[in-house]
Structure 1
Amino acid sequence: MMLIYAAVLFALGALGGLVLALRAFKGQALPLPLALGHGVLGAAGLVLLIVGALTGSGSQTARIALAVLVIAALGGFYLLSFHLRKQQHPKAVIGLHALLAVAGFATLLVAILQLQA
């Protein structure tokens, strides 16, 4: 069940991330509250995924999702540093962060489906 809750939080956070990415690629300002909300939802999802992946319900696939999403989170922290320094975010890092997050989320969904089978 923890994995499902984690997936819901990641999905909600992804909505904010999509808005942020679209604004960044349009050259628009990125609202700090939205960036923080995106990060908080991602961090909360990560905590639940850690608990779920490292307990009895966790599979190898869930641990792979965890590893990928931790790397995505590190990219998110790096992007936050640009926000706090009021500098333009590197678009390549935004793209890589998004790509890793989507890959980790997809892997998490596979892990959830494997548990349902």
Structure 2
Amino acid sequence: MLTYAIVVFAVAAVGGLVLAAHVLRNKFAPWAVSVLHALLGAAGLILLITLIVQGNAPQQAVIGFALLLLAALGGFFLASFHARRKLPPKAIVVIHAGVAVVGFLTLASVLL
């Protein structure tokens, strides 16, 4: 289950790079990529919740989940700018990405 979650988050991260590249160049990110990024992130979180509820999740997976959940909340904040047709602050994009990367690496460290 953890391996699947890591793969899903890795694919979501590719979409996140596309989105961040747009915003950092003062362009609106494609809505379809935003939705796909969000759906993949949600799927990864659901996989982690399933693992945690089953009771056999390593502590690093729980910490990674908490960080990725925090990143998801930041993603909702970023999506609110998109819905209002405003570019989000670049600092928030960088913070969102940074928290997500740390969460992903924390998860990946379980397998390494």
Report which stretch shifted further, 45-54 or 70-79.
45-54
Contact 1:14 1:38 in 2 (8 A): yes
Q: Tell me by how many angstroms 1:110 deviates.
A: 1.1
Q: CA offsets, 1:37-68, max 9 Å, x none?
A: 00000010011011113323301111100111
1:25 corresponding residue in structure 2: 24
Q: Name the % identity.
A: 48
Structure 2 CA distance, aligned partners of 1:82 and 1:90? 9
Runs of 4+ in 1 over 6 A off after TM superposition: none
1:73 corresponding residue in structure 2: 72
- Match for 1:25: what amino acid? L
Unaligned runs of 5+ in 2: none
TM-score by length of 1: 0.91
SS at 1:6 equivalent: helix
- Match for 1:79: what amino acid? L
Contact 1:54 1:63 in 2 (8 A): no
- Match for 1:80: what amino acid? A
1:110 corresponding residue in structure 2: 109
1:37 corresponding residue in structure 2: 36
Unaligned runs of 5+ in 1: none
2:24 is the counterpart of 1:11: no
Two-structure CA RMSD over aligned residues (Å): 1.0
TM-score by length of 2: 0.95
Structure 2 CA distance, aligned partners of 1:42 and 1:112? 19
